[in-house]
Structures are given as structure tokens and as C-alpha cells.
Amino acid sequence: MSIRIVASIAVAVAATCSAIPILFAQDRVGPFSPATLSDISRVEAEIDRIENDSLARLTSGSDNQVQQIELLGKLLLFDKELSVNRNEACAFCHMPDTGFTGPISEINRTTGSYPGSVRTRFSERKPQTHTYAPLSPVLHYNEGQGDLVGGNFWDMRATGRRLGNPAAEQAEGPPTNPVEMGLPDIACAVYRASHRPYRGLFEAVWGAQAFAITWPSDVDDVCNTPGPPPANDPLPVHLGSVDRGRAATTFDQMAQSIAGYEASHEVTAFSSKYDAVQAGKATFTAQEQQGYEVFRGKGRCNECHRDGGPGEDPLFTDFTASNIGTPANPELPYYAESAPDDRGYVANKDGSAFVDGGVGAFLAGGHPLSQPSAVDARWKPLAPQTRGRFQVPTLRNVDKRPSPDFVKAYGHNGYFKSLKEIVHFYNTRDVLPRCASHDPREGIGCWPAPETTENMNTSKTGHLGLTGPEEDALVAFMQTLTDGYAPAKN
């Protein structure tokens, strides 16, 4: 049986997305199947539950500032009011039961990318995990390696150079990204937060000046209008220079609070079976041990997904970027977002010819939809050698899922639909013949061509010579990286 999961709904979504009228009512649902709509409702209800449980802690919360920041960050992460249509929290793409990545099995199985607050707009990439993201270093050039290291996002564009924290700068991307939370101005996020129940907590942590802003009379109308803003009015919430500066500072503090929550033990826990084994509290099964040996040896996984060294937390990434030759994902609705919607917005001017340039595209001119960090001009000459490369993700929680039948997506564009499949790809990319997407042999006997061969990794990927049992053992080992492991009690 093929390990490649191909869903007929995915083909239908890709084929019909461009024909669906674009509406901006809050209840617009987009090109979804009944199963997807059910999943969306389930996730929205769970977000509401977590938010309400967190709000209840406001009256009995700790007076410890660190714990206050963590609670504030959690409230911000689970707040749907911070999106243009008040329907999408950050957590919509980053839920706990999947390791703070995409929580909707049917979307993972089909489109791979998630809809924004405007439900007919989709991103070009799958959501990354928030777990362990705050432990990424500020993006920097390592002269010895001749490479960039650090940052957040698949293309490293949340550099951390301004705030000293890539995770905080990452949190500043989605609120004004037109295909994500969709606000037209960062000031709208501040304005919406000023009316939320956690305002008092925010002021207790960051100061009473945080929301001391004179808002224009049309601020509600402006903030209810999906971005991007008009080219001739890039800051449509018209504030005086002092109020604009105050709003920008408060927006930074909102992002720093979210990063504080992501760094907390609740999110970044080091509580997997792997950690228990390293602490002498558990033992790998024979298959898991074999997988760990393949991981560190024949599979060459540890060369990029580092399991630590002296004085180094085992984060299972080296924070560099690589092009592993992932095929294009033809099910991405982003390919069909080439026509103007009823606000004249075009998400993808290249249409079906779009090729994701990864880090190189960021260095050359920035991300087309959101740019939370400035590009260091000294890095621009690195653009040609980094095109097509994407950040090496942590493998922690790589298989965390709420149920055995839940589908997770892998790769920057969500092309892969199981750990077994992506391991098989690493093993056989250059061994099996090329084929078109949806070929019956795809994922078993052949692979589609890479989305781009620019700077493709050919030394560590594509012809590992692993046997089927070694692939399975490697998967079994990676499953030990799921947080929340409880050692058996004697």
C-alpha cells in the first residue's frame, strides 16, 4: 500500500479555488470539505476553551513577573480578536496537541497550508512548530561555516536582530500578513488588545503607557478592513508621531510576551522519552535504539538535526538552512491566488509558475507578504547561494499528534504526509526515477522533480542506502522525541 496519501479533495481544492468568489464576511468558509469544516469548528472551540481557562487565571494569577509574561503571552496567542475578522488566533496554526503546529488533519492531508482570517486566502507554506523556537539564536553569519545560522520562519526572516529574540520577531509577522491574520496595520493589533480582558495584566507587566494612545475616530472601520493597506497609505491608522511610536513599542511587547510563553515549560518542555533515556529514567526499545544508531550513523541525520554536544541542549537542528529537493506541492491553494480578489489583492503574482526561493528570496528583497525583520544589507550577496534553502526544523515533537490516524504534513510546503514518507524520500530521492505528481508509484517507486535544484543538498540526502527496516527504525526513534512522556512506574 502506498505511503503517499493522496486525497481527491486536495485536487478539487487546487482546481476550484480560483473559481470561488472571494467574500470578506466573517462567516466566509472558503473551499473546504465538510470534514475540514468540522475540524475547523473543533479547533476553534478548543481555542475558545483554552482562552477561557487562561482568562480565569487573571483573578488568581501569580505576582511573579515571569509567570505573568507567560500567561499574557498565552492569552495573546489564543486571542481570535487580534485578526481582522476576529476569527483566527495565532493558535489556529499552532495548537498544543500537535506540538504547536498545524492542528487540522484534513488540511494537513490536503492543502498543507492554512487559510487566513479571510478564509479564501492561503499561505504558501505549512506552519512551523512553536516549540523550542525561542531557543534559536539571533540570525548571524558564521564565517567558519560560511553560512547563516539562526532566526525563525522557514526562510529565517524573523532574524531577532532588532529585539534580540527571533521568536518575538516571528510573532510580529502573522498579524499583518494578508493571508494570515490580515490586519492592515500593527496599530490595529494594539487597539484590539487594549479592549481585551487582559489589558490590566499587560499594563502591570509593561506599564500604564502601553495603551495611552489617542485613537482616530475611524479606527474600527480601518481595522475591520482586510490588509494589505493601500500603497499610498501604508499606515492607515492615522496616529501622531508619539502615538505611533507608543503603538510600535506596545506591539513589540505583545510579541515579546508571546515568545515568553513559547519559552515556558508548558511549550518547550524537554519531556520526551528521548530526554528520559538520556536521564537514565527510561530505555529505548531495540527498534528505537537501532533508529538512534542509524540517525547518528548511516542516515547522517545528526549532521543537520544535531542531538547536542558538550554544554549544548539537544535541539535536533543546527539552525542552518538546506534545500533537500522537496517536490512542489501542487495542492497548495496559493498557486491559484494569482487573480485579484474583490479588494484587488493578489497574493501570488506568479501563479502556477511560483517557485519558493526560501532564504535567498528573503535576502534578495524580503518576503512578499510579511517582513517582521529588516534584511542586513551585508547579507544580500549571500542570496544566490541560499535560494531554495529552508531552515532545518527541530525534530522535537515531529510526530506529536492527538490520535494515531491524525495526519501531519512535513517539508516547507507540506508535500510529505508522514514521517515514513519523508524518511523514504531522504533515502531514495536520487535512486528512484522521476515521475509526475499523482503518479500511482509516487512516494514508493518514483518521486516528482524538486521544486528547485538551486543549492540542493546532494551530499547528505538522496542516496542513503537504508533498508526498509532501517527506515522504520529511524521513524521509531523520532517518535521518542514527543514531549509529555511518562515513564512507567515500578
What one-character-per-residue DSSP string does 292-336 give?
HHHHHTTT-GGGTS----TT----S--S-EEB--PBP-TT-GGGG
Predicted local confidence at residue 368, as pLDDT: 67
Q: What are phi and psi of 135, to 5 degrees?
A: -90, 0
Closest by Cα among 11, 83, 109, 19 to 338: 19
Give the model's confidence band at 445: pLDDT under 50 very low, under 70 low, under 90 confident, else very high.
Answer: very high
Predicted local confidence at residue 369, as pLDDT: 72
71-81 residue pLDDT tens: 999 999 999 99
Segment 6-23 mean pLDDT: 33
Please determine, for residue 22, whether its predicted confidence score (pLDDT) is greater than 50.
no
Q: What are phi and psi of 149, to 5 degrees?
A: -135, 130
Model-level pTM? 0.93
DSSP helix/strand/coil, 416:
strand
241-272 residue pLDDT tens: 999 999 999 999 999 999 999 999 999 999 99
35: left (phi over 0), alpha (psi -120 to 50) or beta: alpha
User: How distant, in Å, are the alpha carbons of 80, 204, 250, 371 from that of 256?
Assistant: 18, 15, 10, 17
Q: Whole-angstrom Cα distance, residue 387 to residue 381? A: 11
Please determine, for residue 29, whether its predicted confidence score (pLDDT) is greater than 50.
no
